[in-house]
Structure 1
Amino acid sequence: MDLAAEVPTWKRALRAQGKSDATLSTYGLGVERFLRWCTDTGTPAELTKANVQAWLADLLDSGLQATTATTWLGGLKRFGAWLAEEDLLPNNPIERLSPPKIATKVTDSLTDDDLRRLLKTCQASKSLRDRRDEAIIRLMSETGLRANELVALQLDDLDLNRQLATVTKGKGGKGRIVPYSPQVAAAVDRYLRVRRTRAHPDNTQLFIGAQAPGFSYYALAKTLRRRAAEAGVAGFHVHKLRHTAATRWLRAGGSEGGLMAVAGWSSREMLDRYVAASAAERAAEEARGLNLGAL
């Protein structure tokens, strides 16, 4: 069987199931990298456990992160499951193949001082960019919205009176309701007053560009990196605001179940990373208070 020839049909089947373009890209990347490895190494392009294990070993030996290898393996497993469902294979030979072990990392987040410095860079004027970026920083650092979820927000997705945001395009197609504070509502209100004078009436996207009608993930990342540089916040990346929101929630005594609902997590895997980071932070504070060095 020519595996490469079946990939387009598989992707059409995924699209028929309602999978997003991002999901198709993620799933497809693992299959494409496996087939490329087969070509580069002269390995027969056959979906066998031995072939996939050798591919994973080469990926890790080349320095690829275990998380990325695991994601690519997940796509390949999906492909194998589809081949079995379509009777193109007698079974999925890699269904029970274990992914690479992922090292547990302490999740980094911004301090309250970092956030204050970021927000201060937005107070130079009442321009659309300044008002927009303040609203974005406050919203993301409080609610933990993913970057793609934020840029997908529409005007009707925000209820300023009840201080609720509706995420209709969450990860995996799962929507949710996200609460936010009066401070966020006030910042969004200030931004919307400027937006009304700049946006075309037919533009329903909540956040818009200062020079262009749309506002993409790339535009979001670019404007926030610039803010971080101005504020002197080192090591910034967009996802760090999601880390920060989770850490702040737990630090303030918020429940783990509440955080899972707000962040859009269906399993504890990601939550456990934030819980560990928050617990380590609290332990460090407690240790300072114990003054164990006084001998």
Structure 2
Amino acid sequence: MGRTSTARRWSGSSSPKPAKKLIPVIRDDDTKRVLGTCKGKDFVQLRDEAIIRLYCNTGARLSEVGNLTLADLDMSTDSAHYHAKGNKDRRVHFGPKTARALSRYLRARAKHKGADLPDLWLADCGVRRLAPNGIKIMLKRRGLAAGLTGVHAHRWRHNFAHEWKRAGGDTGDLMLLLG
């Protein structure tokens, strides 16, 4: 009888809606704290700052930044060519602070053992790329060093969308921009 009475109770009315889960964004002061862990001029600090600034400034997915090649970066137009989900490529512009961080990283990268690799992001030792999973680990480590938990690339993506909407941006334009 339990099943039929439940079915009768719900018939004619919509099913219960799950509670909306708020998507966590990363606040500007938290981003500053994470960037603060990248202070310095060694290769890893320059690379990590450039990566974090790209996420923060463009709202990209982990894989989009993680799979960038040197050819995908255009420093003359301050833009990156992202290879998005579903074969939907797009070019995204970044700001002057991100451009400076990338420029500093590229100069350090040119002196690295793996400078001849086509991948933009290089591992700190050896001649190999820094894969998206390595970036994921780095972001978590940088977050913990800043005293934060739950730091990952997608939080900057949510933050980018949140700020876009707060500034009165159009949802359709945001969808195109974020791929």
TM-score by length of 1: 0.52
1:64-123 residue CA offsets vs partner (Å, 9 max, x unmatched): xxxxxxxxxxxxxxxxxxxxxxxxxxxxxxxxxxxxx77532111110100110111101
* Shift of residue 236, structure 1, vs aligned partner: 2.2
Partner of residue 122, structure 1: 38
Q: Within 2, Cα distance between the matches of 1:204 and 1:250?
A: 36
Residues 1:228 and 1:202: Cα distance change in structure 2 (over 3 Å): same
Check if 1:247 corresponds to 2:168: no
Between the two structures, name the one with larger relative contact order (CA 8 Å, sep ≥ 6).
2
Partner of residue 184, structure 1: 98
Aligned 1:120-159 pairs, distance under 5 A: 120-123=36-39, 125-159=40-74
Partner of residue 14, structure 2: none
Residue 199 of structure 1 contacts residue 208 of structure 1 at CA under 8 Å; is this kept in 2? no
Q: Match for 2:116 among 199, 202, 226?
A: 202
Residues 1:211 and 1:252: Cα distance change in structure 2 (over 3 Å): farther
Aligned 1:40-189 pairs, distance under 5 A: 104-123=20-39, 125-167=40-82, 169-189=83-103
Moved over 6 A (4+): none
Read off the aligned partner of 1:117 and give its amino acid letter: R
* Shift of residue 186, structure 1, vs aligned partner: 0.8
Q: Within 1, Cα distance between the matches of 2:167 and 2:139?
A: 25
Q: Match for 2:177 among 250, 253, 262?
A: 262
Larger Rg: 1
Partner of residue 225, structure 1: 140
Q: What are the ranges of 5 or more consecutive residues in structure 1 without an aligned counterpart?
A: 1-100, 265-295
Q: Within 2, Cα distance between the matches of 1:179 and 1:102?
A: 37
Q: Within 2, Cα distance between the matches of 1:199 and 1:156?
A: 19
Q: Within 1, Cα distance between the matches of 2:144 and 2:47?
A: 17
Check if 1:215 corresponds to 2:138: no
Q: Within 2, Cα distance between the matches of 1:207 and 1:102?
A: 41
TM-score by length of 2: 0.83
Alpha-carbon RMSD: 1.7
1:113-135 residue CA offsets vs partner (Å, 9 max, x unmatched): 00110111101x21111001111
Q: What are the ranges of 5 or more consecutive residues in structure 2 without an aligned counterpart?
A: 1-16
Read off the aligned partner of 1:107 and give its amino acid letter: I
Read off the aligned partner of 2:118 and give its amino acid letter: T
Q: Within 2, Cα distance between the matches of 1:129 and 1:102?
A: 43
Give 1 or 2: higher helix fraction.
1
Read off the aligned partner of 1:112 and give its amino acid letter: D
Q: Percent same amino acid among aligned pairs?
A: 40
* Shift of residue 164, structure 1, vs aligned partner: 1.3
